[in-house]
Amino acid sequence: MSVIKLPESIEDVVVNLLRLANTKLPQDIGWALESAAAWEPNAIASTQLGAVLDNVRKAGLLGRPMCQDTGIPVFYVKGGYDPSIADAIARGVERATREIPLRPNTVDPLTRENDGRNLGRGMPVIHHLPSDGDYTEITVLVKGAGSENMTRLGMLDPSDGVAGVMRFVVDAVLDAGGRPCPPGVVGVGIGGMADECVAMAKRVLARPIDEENPDPVLREMEEDLFVRLNGSGLGPMGLGGSATVLAVRIDKAHCHTASLPVAVNIGCWATRRASVRLGAGDAVYSQGAWL
Amino acid sequence: MAVKRIRLPLSRDDVRGLRIGEVVSASGPLVTGRDAVQMRALDYHDRGKVVPKELEGATLFHCGPIMARGPNGWTVVAAGPTTSARMDKAGPEMIRTFSVRAVIGKGGMSQDVLEAMREVGCVYLAATGGTAVSLAESLPRVRGVEWEDLGMAEAMWLLEAENLGPLVVAMDAHGNSLYEDVRRSLKRS
């Protein structure tokens, strides 16, 4: 955690957040990877986990993005609503793209035109979370396409129940195979409406994986899925082995009595995030999100 | 695990000597190419337009790197493999048309691609997804760039590898796929 005295503009803060998230893996994810490497019995899987850990060390030392897919940054802003923050975040994204550098990833969905700024219609992605606190928190989750493309939403029948939800998650992860760069974090949303269900599945990826789920039922489901997925044999990069997921994170919301939505949003081994808390006179950075 | 050193470009015989489960590191010339390169290369070929000669018999790296232009030309900043399954549809045609000898990527490719690999003599080498800094260090020279108009991620970068790895032989020229073997034995309970 580092404390920086303000004045530091939101634009500067966003550049700092993106640099931190892209070049330094959060400690909880790093520990989980090291523990997976220590336990892995499969020889090929061990080469993959070794290569990942080696890469993380080099990225940190050289201050380079650990993955070439620097993704699309998803911003969660918690605090009072400030209409000027979207422009400031956009300026930060554009500058970070040049300075770090980040790969220019955003394109028009139909023409595939890329103006090189990581901006464009609907960008940057910003979610506002209302809060009564006298500070503003910004968390960025860096989301690459390899994992994002494996997102699944199921509008299950209520009669499918918990067993149906569990089956849906297992299938989503195993059918994705090596494509989302396992072992990573599996985000699960249960309930809500379709859009909120997917939003929950993504938002939980911004929570540190060593932070216990406060809901005992969800916690048990997380542990059960963790054991089942790591016993599946999929392994790192889908090449076989034990380490298939680092963690499963679940959130839920009430839903319609005739619905049972479930969404899976996967974070790759490089589940990258960084947060900042902006108080009266300082900016406190952390990679254990407060979200 | 023992790592076998291989020299690029691979000959048909080199390729047939590789088996799934082997771990290699590769040195020599390769080209990057993913969605857009594959589409344009096949389109140009169909219409009789000139395609960069480096594609013939190439080692094709499914990668959209981060590149930086300095006073001494281009350097590779970050270069990990991208998801190869996106190239499944035109993959067999790509391998057959240009006699691609090796594809470096992640996540594997379809049964149709495996069949084309067996027929032509081509292997799929799995690089560790996301290890972009380590792999960039093993790509010390940039020989050039083709089709730069496709953008940084999609352009065809002509690179020189030095002990690029570890690369797992995950689909070989004998019809074997490690991904298929893993998929078949998955426990879903």
Give the pLDDT confidence of A127-172 residue by residue, as tens digits. Answer: 999 888 888 999 999 999 999 999 999 999 999 999 999 999 999 9
Same domain, yes or no: A18 and A107: yes
Same domain, yes or no: A186 and A282: no
Q: Does residue A57 sit within a domain?
A: no
Nearest CA in chain B to A229: B188
Q: Does residue B178 sit within a domain?
A: yes
What pLDDT is stored for residue A192 in this prediction?
Answer: 98
Same domain, yes or no: A86 and A151: no
Q: Does residue B189 sit within a domain?
A: no
Residues of A with CB below 8 A from B64's CB?
68-69, 103
Q: 3-state class of B6 per DSSP?
A: strand
- Which domain range does residue A173 map to? 146-267
What pLDDT is stored for residue A291 in this prediction?
Answer: 56
Measured CA to CA, the distance from residue A177 to residue A171 in angstroms comes to: 10
Q: Does residue B132 sit within a domain?
A: yes
What pLDDT is stored for residue A110 in this prediction?
Answer: 96
Residues of B with CB below 8 A from A59's CB?
132-133
Same domain, yes or no: A112 and A256: no
Task: Identify residue A2 by its one-letter amino acid code.
Answer: S
Measured CA to CA, the distance from residue B57 to residue B83 in angstroms comes to: 22
What pLDDT is stored for residue A282 in this prediction?
Answer: 86
Residues of B with CB below 8 A from A21's CB?
none
Distance from the Cα of A12 to chain B's closest Cα (Å) equals 22
User: Cβ of B130 and A171 within 8 Å?
Assistant: no
What pLDDT is stored for residue B140 in this prediction?
Answer: 97
Same domain, yes or no: A112 and A170: no
Profile chain B (189 residues) by mean pLDDT over runs of 10 residues: 95 97 98 96 97 97 94 94 96 98 98 98 98 97 96 95 98 98 93
Measured CA to CA, the distance from residue A75 to residue A140 in angstroms comes to: 5
Residues of B with CB below 8 A from A51's CB?
128, 131, 134, 166
Backbone dihedral angles phi then psi of residue A169, each to the nearest 5 degrees:
-70, -45
Q: Does residue A200 sit within a domain?
A: yes
Number of domains in chain A: 2
Q: Does residue B60 sit within a domain?
A: yes
Give me the count of residues in chain B: 189
CATH of the domain at A16: 3.30.360
Report yes or no: A70 at the B interface, CB cutoff 8 Å. Answer: yes
Most B CBs within 10 Å: which of A56, A62, A68, A271, as the mutation test of the B interface? A68
Residues of chain A with pLDDT under 50: none
Q: Does residue A41 sit within a domain?
A: no
Report yes or no: A168 at the B interface, CB cutoff 8 Å. Answer: no
Backbone dihedral region for residue B146 (phi beyond 0: left; psi -120 to 50: alpha; all else: beta): beta
Q: Does residue B135 sit within a domain?
A: yes
Distance from the Cα of A151 to chain B's closest Cα (Å) equals 15
Same domain, yes or no: A127 and A182: no
Number of domains in chain B: 1
Reference B100, options B60, B132, B138, B73; nearest CA is B60
Same domain, yes or no: A139 and A112: yes
Same domain, yes or no: A154 and A239: yes
Locate the DSSP E strands across chain B.
Answer: 3-7, 23-32, 59-61, 66-70, 73-78, 102-105, 123-127, 141-146, 156-171
Encoded tokens for A61 = 């030392």
Q: Does residue B174 sit within a domain?
A: yes
What pLDDT is stored for residue A7 in this prediction?
Answer: 66
Rounded alpha-carbon distances, angstroms, from residue A50 to A56, A236, B1, B132: 10, 11, 11, 14
- Which domain range does residue B46 map to? 3-184
Distance from the Cα of A11 to chain B's closest Cα (Å) equals 23
Q: Does residue A36 sit within a domain?
A: no
| Structural Rg of chain A based on CA atoms | 19
Task: Identify residue A165 by its one-letter amino acid code.
Answer: V
Element (H, E) at A126: strand A125-129
CATH of the domain at B139: 3.20.130.10
Q: Does residue A98 sit within a domain?
A: yes
Same domain, yes or no: A130 and A225: no
What pLDDT is stored for residue A289 in this prediction?
Answer: 65
What pLDDT is stored for residue A279 in this prediction?
Answer: 83
Q: Does residue A21 sit within a domain?
A: yes
Same domain, yes or no: A9 and A135: yes
Q: Does residue A61 sit within a domain?
A: no
Same domain, yes or no: A215 and A151: yes
A243: exposed, middle or buried (Cβ count in 10 Å: 0-12, 13-18, 19+): buried
Same domain, yes or no: A220 and A128: no
Q: Does residue A59 sit within a domain?
A: no
Residues 8-37 in A contacting B (C-alpha not used; CB under 8 Å) = none
Q: In what order do the strands lie in the sheet with A245-253?
A: A152-156, A260-267, A184-191, A245-253
